[in-house]
Structure 1
Amino acid sequence: MNIIIGVSWPFANGELHIGHAASSLPGDVIARYHRLKGNNVILVSGTDCHGTPTEVKALKENKSPKEIVDECHVSFDKDFEDFGISFDLYNRTDDEYHKKFVQEQFVKYYNNGYLEEKEEEQLYCEHCKLFLADRYIIGICPKCGSEIKGDECEKCGSLLTIDEVKETKCSICGSKTSYKINKNLYFKLSNFQNDIKFLLESKRNLWRENAVNFTERYLNEGIPDRCASRTLNYGIDIPIEGFKDKKLYGWFENVWGYVTASKKYAENNNLNWEDFWKNTGNNKIYLIHAKDNIPFHSVIFPSLLLATNDNYKLPDKIVSDEYITIEGEKLSKSKGNYITLRHLLDNYPVDSIRYYFSINNPETRDFNFTYEGFINSINGELLGKWGNFVNRTLQFINKSFDGKLINLKINETLENKLKELYDVVGKDIDNGDTKDGLSKIFDFINYSNKYFDENEPWKLAKEATNKCEEILYNCCNIILNINNLLKPYFIETTKRVEGYLNVNIVEWSYNRLSSVSLSKEINPLFIRYDKSVIEEERKLLNK
């Protein structure tokens, strides 16, 4: 099967933070699983380069927008790589290949009547001399009275037109906004109301509950047409006469990045990109992102695909995480409640970070990141459970049997449980429920530690050597297969375990260990952290 996995594109105006880490990780877990299954996988994302935030940051730092984008792209690419996100291509929206493709789609929409010219009053900041993008407008939600940024209310979930927002101000300088005449092109999103309704009904059981609920709300409110052009200095030029002074709106062109990145990768690797993106009957499309990006993936992107009339397959799986808080408070860079991914990567092993975000993935409710929880997960779960089972089993064999076992009698009950575990964990990951899959693996690790303790091999080594070898062999067989099941989640310790066992598995299926001949040097997979680290990290967070 051909698998497309698109991870949402971070915006080029700062460093990657733990929210990016948490929302992107399920995409990598799903990709690694499907590769082990033997499927053809293209995992893509990239840097979202265009928009007012980039231009504002450039002005503040006395740099060009491209300089800001270049810095962010290098930083993002490095962070994702070190975090183990196995992108087949990490692209950028100022890539010429991407620009050319989306301009072609825009012309097609214009010629097919999906773009409408409108001369309208648009919010403008006299102080900044800018027509303001929605995200740079703050005001009051007309439906619930909450403070709102842009055209989407986080509190009540309403998707508004910006002229509905009350008491608008420029979020850049805080000045009151005024209206000024501007000519734009609007994409007729409302034309696809019924198509999106049909899509939702057909995929209801495949999308996250939050994606279903949000999409239903947008449908109930009526999907509005959406402005597709902008007044910007840095962006993709609109190739339509009368609008060549404008740029494509970011919401229009960045979601097309999933297609352009995978198309570019396919062409460079002798693959047919249409086998992945068109309705072939042998492909699946996952879109991975946080809750605030739901409308762009469940409403806007499918509508853009449909408007081409080019037989595009619509997204199968919407994997949309809830939010992350830090130490009980909303993630906020301005308030200092902010942890960069780079900080964690520079101070902790990558598998420890990947485990904590995976086992706490905010699939159904917000996840509160705490340093106490993070350190306890390393000490108690990784070191105390999985690391302990691997280390004590293999060290015992090296010490008592010189690293080799002769009695390789399989325990069929354990073997059948392992076979079943491949099936249930595989289904969880395939469904985008990566947290549930990892939880089941660690439930089996608890069961395995109990098996070791109840059989007391340290006693059998003196009283019944043959039986002792049988118990230890079955423990090694568990280690081999649990380690393989962990490969979508862990990227470093899994290689070390295979090195200890001198065995390598390259497929998602149960393997019975054919011999036991261990490496002479067995080191702990994880280290214990002193609890003082928790307070040290909290102090850094509050600086």
Structure 2
Amino acid sequence: MRYLITTALAYTNGPLHLGHVRSTYIPADILYKYLKLKGEDVIHVGGTDNHGVPILLKAEKEGKNPEEIVEKYHNEIKRDLDSLNIEFDAFGKTHSPIHIKTAQEFFLKLLENGYIYEKEIEQFYCESCKKFLPDRYVEGICPYCGGEARGDHCESCGRHLEPYELKEVRCVLCGNKPVIKRTKHYFFKLSALKEELENYIKNSKEMPEHVKNLALNWIKELRDWDVSRDISWGVPIPGSNQVMYVWLEAPIGYISFTKMLGDIWKKYWLEDCKIYHFIGKDITVHHAVFWPGMLIAHGSYNLPTAVVSGGYLTLEGKKMSTSKNWVIWVNDFVKYIEGDYLRYYLVMAAPLFKDCDFSFDDFKAKINNELINIIGNFTHRVLTFTHRKFKEIPIVNEEELKEEDKGFLKLINKTVEDVDNLIRTFKFRDALVKILHLASEGNTYFQKMEPWNIKDDERLKQILYCCCKAVKTISYLLYSYMPNKSKQLLELMNEELDLNLRGNKLKKPKIIFKKVDEEVEKLKNLLYSNKDNNGEKMDLISIDDFAKIDLRVGKIIEAEDIPKSKKLLKVIVDLGNEKRQIVAGIKNYYKPEELIGKKVIIVANLKPAKLCGVKSEGMILAAEDDEGNVSLLTLDRDLKEGSKVR
């Protein structure tokens, strides 16, 4: 059988954190390494997703070309993957000639087959910026809850919105109010594929059940899909001044990146082949519904055999947040702790399809008390004892072994069979538990046989043969999970990466699995040292930076509600020689009448901005604790309005 394994294309707006590798890259690499070990025809294809509005916005705000942003993070992402020994046969970029050509050919085939049509729509247009505004370029007020909303999503109530539904609309680039203009967009006729998609999902025998259920629910109410955007950054649509919506062209990268290998790409996409897509669960629908729909409409390519979506990873019981720096980056982790230990823990912490939490205490316990005390202890004591007695791995006739020896060998063989079945069905944690159990049973066997008390060399060789066979098997099966540790064990045994025991001379044993104590504390300190008490990133500034901030004492003389906002109040503050209007996000903590007469601290030289369409000429300082309690910063003795805070 032929296999193609793909991993979700990492978005080039930052490096990788632990959540990325847990759900996607580590499980995919385990299956890839294992199938290669078994001699299967398998390739692993991945890369980075380089287009879309967020990258364009980031480039515009930083005054850079999008290509600079893409190149920087593409290289950092590949560095992170390499540091965890995650292998690819092809690792590409969607901003590349081979991908752009493939995506355009794909689009034209959909058009030829009657699945692409043009439709006139209404869209915001900024007359100041002279451009149409895709979703992320538009901010406003949610018409349902009054909360802050961006484009097609309300940040407060989570409701999906059409951009034209927003109130108090503004362009995120210039702040001006856009107008509505009519424009033509291309649409993909997804609704016409309901029956084909239902049949595909129901008949996909290897598709995980939770993916099937989610996909079938979505298929009930399929809508056609707007697949063009009025921006400059992306894959140009042939014969148009628009680009393809990133979710149309990005998955085509699985095909275009395979083409980087030459003509053999056809074996995986046009001939008999199993295709496994490894992704995070937030993009399950895209891969189980939209992408297969595109492939069905195209008519030439293989459909995914399974979409393997991994659960979310939290950190110390809290949702990871890159904006608050509540995150562990892969690059930081491997500076302190070996990548193999991370691979082990993220598999063992929970089944792939379940959410799980990265806990420093649990990580330390699983490495020190589980991996090292069981696998590390068994492999080290066997190799140390065998080296001391014979200097080489003894080879014996298995037919002459005693029943207890044969029983242990039977367990070894059964473990190999079980692990094979479990890995091939994406039960990576269960398979690793089997390997751990074999080491535990090996310890029991070794202890029961008491080889230190045996005087008969032939009998001792039989026992150590069984133990060394278990060590060799564990090293072999562990390779897909912990490739570096596996190779180190095999090197001590002078053995190849297979299941055959050759009886080679042993090298002097050394400890392969070392406990992690100080390293964990250092990593933990790194996480917390970048935080204040609320988990916000704490960047150090100089006294010169602080001197730029003009802090003044102000007295609130008026306060009123902003009806369209759930969070904002409008206040008038007396600064002595002038009065300022300030919009403050304190509605949930103070009533307007409570504020009158309070003396507060104001950032007086903040650039004016509009919030919910109301001009704000400064900022009132407040503190917030971990429970979300908010308190304005006030004075402990009376000072004149306008007094400078030094």
Amino acid in the other structure paired with 2:242: K
* Closer, same or farther: CA 367–404 of 1 in aligned 2, 3 Å: closer
Aligned to 1:121: 122
SS in 1 for 2:483: coil
Match among 417, 421, 425 for residue 423 of structure 1: 417
Give CA deviations for 1:339-368 in whole Å, capped at 9, x if unaligned.
111111222111101111122355232111
* Closer, same or farther: CA 48–303 of 1 in aligned 2, 3 Å: same
Whole-Å separation in 2 of the counterparts to 1:491 and 1:127:
56
Q: TM-score, normalised by structure 1?
A: 0.88
* Closer, same or farther: CA 369–164 of 1 in aligned 2, 3 Å: farther
Aligned to 1:248: 244
Q: Aligned runs of 1:61-72 on 2, under 5 Å?
A: 61-72=62-73
Match among 268, 276, 279 for residue 286 of structure 1: 276
Q: Do 1:123 and 1:180's aligned partners in 2 also have CA atoms closer than 8 Å?
A: yes
Q: Do 1:28 and 1:86's aligned partners in 2 also have CA atoms closer than 8 Å?
A: yes
Identical columns (%): 32
Match among 488, 513, 538 for residue 525 of structure 1: 513
Amino acid in the other structure paired with 1:382: L
SS in 1 for 2:42: strand
Amino acid in the other structure paired with 1:83: L
Q: Aligned runs of 1:193-232 on 2, under 5 Å?
A: 193-203=194-204, 205-220=205-220, 222-232=221-231
Q: Do 2:393 and 2:465's aligned partners in 1 also have CA atoms closer than 8 Å?
A: no
Note the residue ranges of structure 1 that are not aligned, 5 or more in a row: none
Aligned to 2:386: 397
Aligned length: 524
Shift of residue 201, structure 1, vs aligned partner: 0.6
Amino acid in the other structure paired with 1:422: V
Q: Which stretch shifts more, 67-76 or 121-130?
A: 121-130
Shift of residue 275, structure 1, vs aligned partner: 2.1
Shift of residue 452, structure 1, vs aligned partner: 1.9
Give CA deviations for 1:102-148 in whole Å, capped at 9, x if unaligned.
10111122232211111211256789876554567789999999998
Match among 287, 292, 296 for residue 302 of structure 1: 292
Q: Which stretch shifts more, 390-399 or 133-142?
A: 133-142
Give CA deviations for 1:456-500 in whole Å, capped at 9, x if unaligned.
33333xx55543333222111100011101111111111111111
Whole-Å separation in 2 of the counterparts to 1:374 and 1:68:
34
The reply on whether 1:456 has 2:450 as its aligned counterpart is: yes
Whole-Å separation in 2 of the counterparts to 1:106 and 1:393:
60
Aligned to 2:186: 185
Give CA deviations for 1:27-63 in whole Å, capped at 9, x if unaligned.
1111111111211112111110101111122123221
The reply on whether 1:315 has 2:304 as its aligned counterpart is: yes
> Which of 1 and 2 has higher RCO (CA within 8 Å, sep 6+)?
1
Whole-Å separation in 2 of the counterparts to 1:318 and 1:143:
35
Whole-Å separation in 2 of the counterparts to 1:92 and 1:232:
19
* Closer, same or farther: CA 145–199 of 1 in aligned 2, 3 Å: farther
Aligned to 2:428: 434
* Closer, same or farther: CA 427–283 of 1 in aligned 2, 3 Å: same
Match among 232, 256, 259 for residue 263 of structure 1: 259
Q: Do 2:171 and 2:178's aligned partners in 1 also have CA atoms closer than 8 Å?
A: no
Whole-Å separation in 2 of the counterparts to 1:406 and 1:303:
57
Aligned to 1:356: 345
Whole-Å separation in 2 of the counterparts to 1:166 and 1:64:
30
Aligned to 2:641: none
SS in 2 for 1:38: coil
Aligned to 2:57: 56
Q: Do 1:394 and 1:522's aligned partners in 2 also have CA atoms closer than 8 Å?
A: no
Whole-Å separation in 1 of the counterparts to 2:482 and 2:287:
28
Amino acid in the other structure paired with 2:432: L
Give CA deviations for 1:203-227 in whole Å, capped at 9, x if unaligned.
1x4222331222122122x111111
Whole-Å separation in 1 of the counterparts to 2:314 and 2:327:
9
Shift of residue 504, structure 1, vs aligned partner: 0.2
Match among 460, 467, 474 for residue 459 of structure 2: 467
Q: Do 1:408 and 1:473's aligned partners in 2 also have CA atoms closer than 8 Å?
A: no
Match among 276, 297, 312 for residue 268 of structure 2: 276
Whole-Å separation in 1 of the counterparts to 2:149 and 2:247:
19
Q: Which one has a larger percent helix, Structure 1 or Structure 2?
A: 1
Whole-Å separation in 2 of the counterparts to 1:291 and 1:127:
39
Amino acid in the other structure paired with 1:25: I
Aligned to 1:109: 110
Amino acid in the other structure paired with 1:458: W
Whole-Å separation in 1 of the counterparts to 2:106 and 2:163:
28
Q: Aligned runs of 1:7-156 on 2, under 5 Å?
A: 7-22=7-22, 23-123=24-124, 131-134=132-135
Q: Do 1:139 and 1:147's aligned partners in 2 also have CA atoms closer than 8 Å?
A: yes
Amino acid in the other structure paired with 1:41: V
Q: Do 2:219 and 2:289's aligned partners in 1 also have CA atoms closer than 8 Å?
A: no
Aligned to 2:644: none
Aligned to 2:319: 330
Amino acid in the other structure paired with 2:292: P
SS in 2 for 1:15: coil
Shift of residue 536, structure 1, vs aligned partner: 2.2
Give CA deviations for 1:141-172 in whole Å, capped at 9, x if unaligned.
999999987768999999x6746987797896
Shift of residue 533, structure 1, vs aligned partner: 4.2
* Closer, same or farther: CA 393–134 of 1 in aligned 2, 3 Å: farther
Q: Do 1:323 and 1:365's aligned partners in 2 also have CA atoms closer than 8 Å?
A: yes
Shift of residue 400, structure 1, vs aligned partner: 3.8
The reply on whether 1:6 has 2:6 as its aligned counterpart is: yes
* Closer, same or farther: CA 404–488 of 1 in aligned 2, 3 Å: closer
Task: Let me know the Cα RMSD of the aligned residues.
Answer: 3.2
Give CA deviations for 1:375-418 in whole Å, capped at 9, x if unaligned.
22221222221111111111122234445547665522222222
Whole-Å separation in 2 of the counterparts to 1:149 and 1:414:
62
Whole-Å separation in 2 of the counterparts to 1:414 and 1:485:
17
Shift of residue 526, structure 1, vs aligned partner: 2.8
* Closer, same or farther: CA 124–492 of 1 in aligned 2, 3 Å: farther
* Closer, same or farther: CA 503–297 of 1 in aligned 2, 3 Å: same
SS in 1 for 2:481: coil
Amino acid in the other structure paired with 1:64: N
Q: Aligned runs of 1:499-538 on 2, under 5 Å?
A: 499-506=491-498, 510-511=499-500, 513-515=501-503, 517-530=505-518, 532-533=521-522, 535-538=524-527
Whole-Å separation in 2 of the counterparts to 1:149 and 1:408:
72
* Closer, same or farther: CA 188–474 of 1 in aligned 2, 3 Å: same
Q: Which stretch shifts more, 57-66 or 191-200?
A: 57-66
Aligned to 1:490: 482
Q: Do 2:139 and 2:172's aligned partners in 1 also have CA atoms closer than 8 Å?
A: no
Whole-Å separation in 1 of the counterparts to 2:129 and 2:320:
27
* Closer, same or farther: CA 365–406 of 1 in aligned 2, 3 Å: closer
Q: Do 1:28 and 1:85's aligned partners in 2 also have CA atoms closer than 8 Å?
A: yes
Shift of residue 17, structure 1, vs aligned partner: 1.2
Give CA deviations for 1:55-114 in whole Å, capped at 9, x if unaligned.
122123221100110111111112112211111011000110111111011112223221
Aligned to 2:358: 369
Note the residue ranges of structure 2 that are not aligned, 5 or more in a row: 532-536, 538-646
SS in 1 for 2:10: coil
